[in-house]
A and B are shown apart, each in its own frame.
Chain A
Amino acid sequence: MLTLSELQRDFRLAMLADDDRIASLVAGDGLEPAARLALYRHHVLDTLTDALKSTFPVVCRLVDERFFRYVADRYIRECPPDGPCLFEFGSSFPRFIGELSPARELVYLADVALLEWALNRARHAEDAAPIDPGALRAVPPESVPSIVFQLEPSLTLLRSPWPIDRLWRANQPDGEGTVDLDAGGAWLEVRRAGDDVGFRALDPATHAFRAAIAGSEPLGDAADAALGVDPRFDLAAALHALLDDGVVIGLSVNGLPKKES
């Protein structure tokens, strides 16, 4: 007789791997054990597919529902959720769908999926209060380049060589029109402000600046990253905008300021 742990291991195989070895433990009672297991399997796969569809509606529209369900089925079997909060399920789906050979010619698909994942994250992120911009004045001038900002948890900086913002908009329920794939890339900031989740385009230098800050790089390095993209980057203005947008929720000074000797 199987232990409970072994039974659950084998039941999982029936749900995710079409392996019905557990059927020998299931009573028939007028219906084949395999048919009984299939009822459970359909529910597992259907509801998890629906969860992915609700997180990635634009991807579903781009590839059509039938193909989406096929990809979702493979994904669920290979990368099942690791916890019961389904709004957290699907973080690796963008990469998975991008690497799947039938979808590879839709070169922008993985990036659109990343945008949808960022929107989903923003929707469920913790609320966080922005710092008072005056907090910056308390930092001694020589330490300013070493400031590390903490940004609010709903924020994601995303860039793509494809116009994923236009693709996303054109594939909303009320969206229309076609998107020129040669229209250029997208430098996006995704966040939630109040209850409103959305994204906006940034210029490439500002995007590089904020992405570096979001990656916990000190202010000096973030400025260098932005200047590397555009030598006309205005650090003072970018810093003001960052604080005015209310996305900074904390700051610390990274290490000791360098002393001139």
Chain B
Amino acid sequence: MISRREATGGTHSAGRGTLGAGIGVREPHVAEILAGRPAVGWLEAHPENYMGGGPPVRRLEELRRDYPIALHGVGLSLGTAAPLDRRHLGRLAALVKSIEPAIVSEHLSWSIAGGAYLNHLLPLPYTDEALAVVADHVDEVQQTLGRRIALENPSSYLRFRHSTIDEAAFLTEIARRTGCAILCDVNNVFVSSRNLGFDPSAYLDALPASHVTEIHLAGHSVNDADGAPILIDDHGSRVADEVWQLYRHALELFGPVPTIVEWDTNLPTLDVLLDEAACARRLLDAAAGAPADAHAV
């Protein structure tokens, strides 16, 4: 088990507070970023898009010359009861070695059943059995990569009746058992809180602040499901006002932790995305300057 080494490792052993605000980098924006080198703290990429060869990998390496990179995995399926896909983990380890990311993160979810990859961050029952499975898998990933990873809370549209632990407590226990960090997706907390009916501020209050090394922000949409409003975490719009409010609360609790704005569907022009990151940056700066800031390292 990797011990609780502080933060992130890698060449950019940037601790909390130094990366600032960044954006999730998506293929259509890459050329413009390389050409203009906009002032943005860091970039986050999905490793699954860079596990072949050729132009995509070369461009990620180019981005890496100018920006700290986070590798944010969607494919490890840490919550699958079956063993991890060792080939995928090996490919991730190779990419981590060549890119030397500031942060490596994954999700508290599962995507693989019976060998089929379902391309979604699917919900877990929060039980002792699932706790053991996820903790073992996080251990294995941290052993293989030789570094700490951050685990992100998912957005949820359902909960299982037989869950015995609430999600914040589940994440906390995984962090305690494995020493992993927590990537707090504030939009996901908000989306899940509306869909499942809980208090999003209380959720944030329940997380162990010293383990939260990164925050995610994104837009969501409000949809109609059989007459009931349901929030979909589609990363397809600006961050909602209520989520900015929740972000302020998160910064009070966790300090000015590095933040990424994600945008995946209805991709806007790059300047819109950079503008969202600039909004996050202003709040981060305010949090860093606040006298009550006891969290920044």
Contact = CB atoms under 8 A, between A and B. Distances in A.
A202 to B, nearest CB: 23
Interface residues of A, number: 48
Contacts of A192: 54-55
B81 A84 contact: no
Interface in B34-90: 48-49, 51-56, 58, 74-77, 79-82, 85, 87-88
A26 B133 CA distance: 21
Contacts of B81: 3-5, 8
B197 interface: yes
Interface string A171-213: 0000000000000000000001001000000000000000000
A125 B52 contact: yes
A80 B117 contact: yes
A231 to B, nearest CB: 39
A31 B113 contact: no
Contacts of B124: 4
Contacts of B160: 7, 25-27
A117 interface: no
Contacts of B111: 84
A124 B54 contact: yes
B52 A85 contact: yes
Nearest to B117: A81
Contacts of A33: 158
B270 interface: no
Interface string B113-155: 1111111101011010110010000000000000000000000
A197 to B, nearest CB: 9
A47 B111 CA distance: 13
Contacts of A124: 52-54, 56
Nearest to B129: A4
A1 to B, nearest CB: 6
Q: Which of B49, B51, B54, B91 has the most CB of A within 10 A?
A: B54
B120 A43 contact: yes
A39 interface: yes
B53 A40 contact: no
A142 interface: no
A44 B110 CA distance: 13
A114 B164 CA distance: 49
A85 B80 contact: no
B82 A35 contact: no
A82 B115 contact: yes
B33 interface: no
B228 interface: yes
Interface string B169-183: 000000000000000
A9 B211 CA distance: 33
Nearest to B59: A195
B158 A27 contact: yes
A33 B125 CA distance: 15
B280 interface: no
B226 A16 contact: no
16 contacts: A3-B81, A4-B81, A7-B160, A12-B113, A12-B116, A25-B160, A29-B159, A39-B157, A40-B158, A51-B119, A82-B116, A84-B75, A84-B88, A87-B49, A124-B54, A127-B58
Interface of B: 48-49, 51-56, 58, 74-77, 79-82, 85, 87-88, 91, 110-120, 122, 124-125, 127, 129-130, 133, 157-162, 196-197, 225-226, 228, 230, 232
